[in-house]
Amino acid sequence: MSLKKSMAIKTVAIFSAFALIIPTTNATAAPKFKLCVALGGIPGILGALGTSGDPIAKAGAKARGWDYYEVSNKLDAPTAVKNADLIVQQKCSALIQFNGRPEVNPTIAKKLAKAKIPVITYDIAQPGWYFLGIDNLGAGKAGGAALGKLIKEKWNCQPDLVLESHGYGAGIVDSMRTGGMVDGLKSVCPDIDKSKFKAFEGNGEIAVSQPAARDILAANPTAKKIAVVGLNDAGVVGPLLAARQLGSDYEAMGWGQDGNLIAGDKVDPDLKGSVLYFLEGYSAYAFEVLDAIAKKQAPKMRDGAVNPAVLVKPCPVSAAQAQNIPIDKVRIKKLAKDPSKTLYSIYCPK
């Protein structure tokens, strides 16, 4: 115990020594801006939502001469709350955060508001925090329109069935994306009969959307030309597989969302395309708000998914185009070299 104590004293001593130095060297300048990031901790994702750090935020901060501090919420509510305390201690000037356990966001918001730290949150809205996220409705409409073009080309806008693989648990995100896809499809093929649209719960997963789609196909035994839209790629691939399972007389085409299953060499042959969000590069968009905050001209609070501070532009890609887009690891490296760009501007096919 005494060892710990003496170490603590030493640390304090070292820090106070620094504290003495820093104000003297920086005496004339305003206190340095400090950007903090609380990572989401979702495995398999890069950038602010992921586990391994946000190189874009870091590079952007460096380019601006800001201090940078990073913690991970680890997809865990207690960790996220603890991190809020750390961020207050660190006297951050602004925070970028993704918290996959939003039930504790009100608690975190209270702590940060008390310390007057402005927050930019990704994808999950919280009152009082600048919302930055994908333009879900735009993503839906773009994907739907792209599939509509194919349906017009191949089936003369006359599919037998349009399967809407919803993920009702995602709430407004689902209605914007899946609903947006229906809107987009109708914008190309306005005359598809209402009765041809079959909405069902696919939960954004193959294991759910596949059996559900099988049952709907069985209940519509004469339908053979099947179009599929949905909340995400997995929710669309399930029904495409279902059609193949029920027989070779089925002809199915689907267009997904989120680009999870469109990259690489293992793409479902009936998944004609998807919409990429490039979420590993979200932080490139955050600087628009951060720069304003740094200039003490904080923008008006826009904190809702329907009233966002920054909308990230979605990028519809066909399966063929997706083959030319490198994987997220490569993309984020390239963006980190020039964080003034966005992944959309670098990679989205014109």
Partner 1 sequence: MSRLLSNRFKVPSLRKSADSEYLATILVLLGVWIFLIVISVINRSDFLSRATFGAITFNMCIIGVLAIGQGFVVISGGILDLSITVSMLISSFMTVVFYELGWNTPALIIGSILCAGAFGLFNSILVVWLKINPLIVTLATGFAGGGVLLIVFDRKLVDPKSWIADFGTSYLFRFPTAWWPMALLTIGAHFFFKYSRFGRHFLAVGGNPLSAKAMGISLKRMRVSTFVGAALIGGIAGIIFAGFTPEIRPNAGTYYMLPVIAAVVLAGFSLAGGRGSFLALFVSVGFLSTIPTALVFFGLKSIWETFIQGFILIIAVSIDAYRIVKARGR
The contact set with partner 1 (CB under 8 A) reads 43-44, 200-201, 205-208, 210-212, 214-219, 221, 233-234, 237, 241, 244-247, 260-261, 264-269
Q: Which is nearer to partner 1, 53 or 211 (CB)?
A: 211
**Residue 320 in tokens:** 């063929």
Shortest Å distance, C-beta 274 to partner 1: 13
Smallest distance, partner 1 to C-beta of residue 215, A = 4
Least distance CB 197 / partner 1 (angstroms): 14
Smallest distance, Å, CB 39 to partner 1?
16
| Of 121 and 274, CB closest to partner 1 | 274
With both helix axes pointing from N to C terminus, report the angle between 172-188 and 136-155 in degrees, rounded to the nearest 10: 30
Q: Is the dihedral of CA 242, 142, 152, 188 positive or negative?
A: positive
* Minimum distance from residue 144 beta carbon to partner 1 (Å): 22
Residue closer to partner 1, measured from CB, 36 or 75: 75
Min dist CB 220 to partner 1, Å, is: 8
Report, in Å, the least distance between residue 137 CB and partner 1.
24
User: Would you tell me the crossing angle of helices 328-337 and 55-63 to the nearest 10 degrees?
Assistant: 10
Q: Read out DSSP for 110-168?
A: HHHHHTT--EEEESS--TTSEEEEE-HHHHHHHHHHHHHHHHHHHHTT--SEEEEEE-G
Farthest CA pair distance, the chain: 81
- Nearer Cβ to partner 1 (155/168): 168
CB of 82 vs partner 1, minimal distance in Å = 20
* SS3 state of residue 85: helix
Neighbour count for residue 194 (Cβ, 10 Å): 5
- What angle do helix axes 55-63 and 283-294 make, rounded to 10 degrees? 30
Instruction: Rank residues 196 and 214 by Cβ distance to partner 1 and give the closer one.
Output: 214
Cα–Cα dist 136/133, whole Å: 8
Residue 308 is classified by DSSP as B
Q: Which is nearer to partner 1, 119 or 279 (CB)?
A: 279
User: In angstroms, rounded to a whole number, what is the distance separating the alpha carbons of residues 141 and 177?
Assistant: 8
Cα separation of 250 and 262, whole Å?
22
Q: Which is nearer to partner 1, 68 or 277 (CB)?
A: 277
Which residue, 71, 77, 85, is CA-closest to 36? 71
Cβ proximity to partner 1: between 70 and 76 the closer is: 76
